[in-house]
Amino acid sequence: MKNKSSEASKVVILEWCWVLEFKRKTDVSIILIGFEACKQDSFCDSEVGRFSVQRLGNQTTLNFRVENQIFTLKLHRKQIVNFGLWHWERQTQSLRNKIHQLWRLIMEIKEERASDEAQQFLPSSQIDSLGEPQLTSIQRIANEPKLEFSLACKDLVAATRDRKLNTFIQVSVVHPAEHVLTRYSSTEIVEGTRDPLFLTGVTFPPEYPIYEETKIKLTVYDVKDKSQDTVHTTVIPDHKEPRADVGRSFLGCTTFTVGDLVKSKEQQLTLTLRTSDGGKTVGTIEVNLVKMGELEDGEPGHITTDSQDQKCALVRECTAPEGISGKDNLPSLNAVLKNPICKLYRFPTSDNKWMRIREQMAETILSFHVPKELINLHIKEDMRRNQELKDLGELAPHWDNMRKSVIAHCDQMLSMYQDTLAELGKHTGSSFKSSCSKGEKTLEFIPINLHLQRMHVHSPRLKDALYDVITVGAPAAHFQGFKNGGLRKLLSKFEAERRNTGYQCIYYSPENTAKAKEVLSNINHLQPLISSHADLLLNSASQHSPDSLKNSLKMLSEKTELFVHAFKDQLVRSALLALYTARPGCVLKKPAVPRNSAEEGDDLKHQDHPSQVKRQDSIPHHSEYDEEEWDRVWANVGKSLNCVIAMVDKLLEKDSSNVKDGEIDPSAADCKHAGGDWYEQLYPLVITLKDCMGEVVTRAKQSMAFVLLQELACGLPQCLMLTLRRDIVFSQALAGLVCGFIIKLHTGLHDQGFLQQLHTVGLLVQYEGLLSTYSEEAGMLEDMAVGISDLQKVMFKVIEAKSEDFLPIITGRREHYVIEVQLPAKMFELLPQEIKEGKLLRMYPVLFNVGINEQQTLAERFGDTTLQENINQENLELLKEYYNLFTEKMPPDCLPHFQEQNDLKGLLENLHQNIQAKKRKNVEIMWLAATICRKLNGVRFTCCKSAKDRTSMSVTLEQCSILRDEHQLHKDFFIRALDCMRREGCRIENVLKNVKCRKYAFNMIQLMAFPKYYRPPEGTYGKTDT
């Protein structure tokens, strides 16, 4: 084959065939060739191009592609010779060897292509028509990886004698059903040895389609320049990524089937590495099947830091530690976690043993589920508020115009929430929001890059352990921008401006506004409950059932007392007064001294009543308002309930003692009731109770709606925009919290101490922030601080799932949310009785932030770090409060026991000293806070701008620090383990998911400003679009 203006560059040799027809078109040449005996459909690749052969009816089609030219050969069924690699019966042994080596070369070239490219040479209709082969599945424990193995090389041969080898192995998979070679993963680079023992293994997650017939190809490369060899292996097709073979050279390759490995007697294969021409042996590869569990008999040899002469005690059996995994956890856990990525490592311990580490990362559908549920609640709450404003009744022109303006703005915001929910409902595909999408308006409620990062450690002499960290981008309103700062600054500024609104509206403090929302929520919750229990009481009376009557009365009394208590607040009285002054033509009668206690009188001095009256002097007063009337209306509910109780007592007494008809109980006489049928005697009392309650509800709802009207009117449109921003930030924070709680609950189901702590004290949730206090990131930190603080108003409740839908249910309003987490019946039975009975579980969120990038350097030298210092100091106090509560309510043996456990009190004091020291980039603050969190059974979060680069550095450092401090990682392997996780681990996969490139978004100048242990290995960073 040749171009028109060049010499022939590619040669294809076809034997035992003849040309039937030749056609030439603009971009395709078609040659019809007759062959002998083609027995099966097949294809191969080589440097000259790609062949595919497929039988269809009486015709076999051969496609051949050279660079950009495609040649199609349609082969007649009669007298067809087997072409190329398959069943060539007339060839010599020498030719057989050459063809076999051609296949090796084909596979070598193929692995540099994207995995989806392999099917482009056959029409999709023809591909679909190929029969599925019978494949043998690999039997594994539920929720465990399908296959894991470790790798080591021996006696590698260098191209030149004086060169020390720096090698890594690239792992590729040949799918038997598709005959497609896909790059899957790589080991780390081991430097300066002919016998490299690789710390990075290979693991295939439960969902990966791997069978006994699957072929694994191992290719060994010698890396000459690590800076040029950024790791690029992936199971995700990536057409944009260039080939990264500039800094490496091919040494040799080999293949094996999965069945050979799993069925081998020793579960170990020793394979010969050969060069591309097949004639030269360049070493051997040992493949060892790995199962997290028991160790192989025998002691490992001497371990050296340059990896020479390393031997490994191999893991043979998989033991799922109690509470860590199991098929009972699988349905509910799979309901929230998706697309897991697994990595396997083996690291030496300080006593020359081997530990196994499985690193896992998974995204969660809660990234979209929680925000959609939350937006739906916002819509319902705002619609209810708008209706309450409309139900305020007739107002003076000034207030009426204000109400119309507020409702118009609220309707616009309501429409925006509805549009956002509709757009999220259309979302399909990935269940996480990439860092590149953080500025998209339709996704502004969705958390950025939310993932579970898990490390499962199996040590030879320690109990297996799980360490979880939730990684997520800092909760912040990126689409709204940070030109004027974040929520912390904006809310403070807004509150100061609202205090000076003057005559236009009445100022209510944020505490009073929150109280008004709570009263309205209690009304909407309790009124239907009281009405329902009152109907049940009448139903029990009609059935003449004493036991049922007692129970119904008990429930009615409890709910009514809660109802009455909800209005025992000076705010309701003062708001009613303000509302009456806003009616057209009202007259204010001089208020009398309240008849309540001196304590309530003291509260009155601190309320807004005097200033409210003074501000509204210009409103005309034509009708009389008696302030004591509210006390009478409110008290009538209690009196009516007492009458109901008295009547029930009388009826039950009559029924039990069968007294004479003439005897009348005094309390019943006060209520002017006589004997007769139970229902007839209770009915008028219940109706009176409902009427009294209805009058209270009407007045209280109007007064509290008037308070909300002032809040909105005083700050239009800033008030609504701040509410929107706060909702966006809270939505992102809540999605992460729900994910963290569910994961923690699942892993702690068998830990009775943790479950006791959960319902007795609550759950500590510790956030590690890596944001700088310079430029836009300062605004992000302000948003994040408020969003995390708002999580204090979230309570959790665990319920038994009634269906296969295990997704959490969210109820409540902006000031108070309840998250109902559903568990299958078997798991639900493991919970303490208090949790099973529906006890609400409290959250204690704390945030510690330390900026580590070059922008933080600017802030420390030329800017201001007060924001970070204040946040750390405030949250230290919250952490101390939780610790004090923990020590008061929990026995000492509930703390998790690690080796050489530090005293928690000493850790807290150390943290306090580091915060007070105001040292630049004092990352020890984050290390101490994380350690305290783990020892207090808390949930760990790590956040930066997009949870991609700085977060990856922090998470991998934390994992290696845990291995060193808690599992005796050999000190000489700390840096190498760190580089393994950063170069080949889950976090580089996270980078790929976000930006379609396996490079951390750092440059050399930036890294010079980073603390030493937060710098990625050479060749893994560069300029990317984030």
Q: Which residues are catalytic?
A: 944
Q: How far is CA 454 from the centre of its chain?
A: 12
8 Å CB contact between 450 and 367: yes
Quick one: angle between helices 866-889 and 924-935, nearest 10? Answer: 20
Strand partners, 490: none
Percent of residues in the chain assigned helix, strand, coil, to nearest 5: 45, 20, 35
Distance, in Å, from the CA atom of 691 to the CA atom of 617, rounded to the nearest integer, reads 34
8 Å CB contact between 621 and 581: yes
Task: Write out the E strands in 622-690.
Answer: 624-625
How far is the CA of 380 from the CAs of 368, 419, 520, 814, 1007, in angstroms?
Answer: 19, 14, 14, 11, 48
Is residue 721 helix, strand or coil? Answer: helix
8 Å CB contact between 923 and 852: yes
Q: How far is CA 712 from the centre of its chain?
A: 34
Please provide the distance, in angstroms rounded to a whole number, between the alpha carbons at the two ends of the chain: 44
How long, in residues, is the chain?
Answer: 1026
Instruction: Please report, as a single letter, which amino acid is at residue 369.
Output: H
How far is the CA of 350 from the CAs of 631, 910, 974, in angstroms?
Answer: 75, 27, 11
Tokens 């702590």 label which residue? Answer: 757
Distance, in Å, from the CA atom of 211 to the CA atom of 175, rounded to the nearest integer, reads 9
Question: 935, 931, 985: which is closest to 956 by C-alpha?
Answer: 985
Tokens 């007298």 label which residue? Answer: 79
Distance, in Å, from the CA atom of 518 to the CA atom of 695, rounded to the nearest integer, reads 19
Q: What angle do CA 508, 512, 515 make, to 5 degrees?
A: 150
H or E segment at 76?
Answer: strand 69-76
8 Å CB contact between 914 and 967: no
Which residues have a Cβ under 8 Å from the Cβ of 545 and sit 6 or more positions away?
Answer: none
- Count of CA atoms in the C-beta half-sphere (13 A) of 304: 11
Instruction: Please report, as a single letter, which amino acid is at residue 291.
Output: K
Distance, in Å, from the CA atom of 946 to the CA atom of 444, rounded to the nearest integer, reads 13
8 Å CB contact between 190 and 310: no
- Cis-peptide, bond into residue 684, ω within 30° of zero: no
The two structure tokens encoding residue 796? 């959790």
Distance, in Å, from the CA atom of 833 to the CA atom of 831, rounded to the nearest integer, reads 6
- Count of CA atoms in the C-beta half-sphere (13 A) of 496: 6
The two structure tokens encoding residue 82? 């087997």
Question: 918, 789, 887, 928: which is closest to 846 by C-alpha?
Answer: 789
The two structure tokens encoding residue 794? 């979230």
Which residues have a Cβ under 8 Å from the Cβ of 740 and sit 6 or more positions away?
Answer: 468, 470, 765, 939, 941
Strand partners, 341: 361
Which residues have a Cβ under 8 Å from the Cβ of 308 and sit 6 or more positions away?
Answer: 193, 195
Residue 630 phi/psi, 5° resolution? -65, -40
Instruction: Please report, as a single letter, which amino acid is at residue 964.
Output: R
For 333-357, b/e burial (b = at least 16 CB within 10 A) is bebbbbbbbbbbbbbbbeeebbbbb
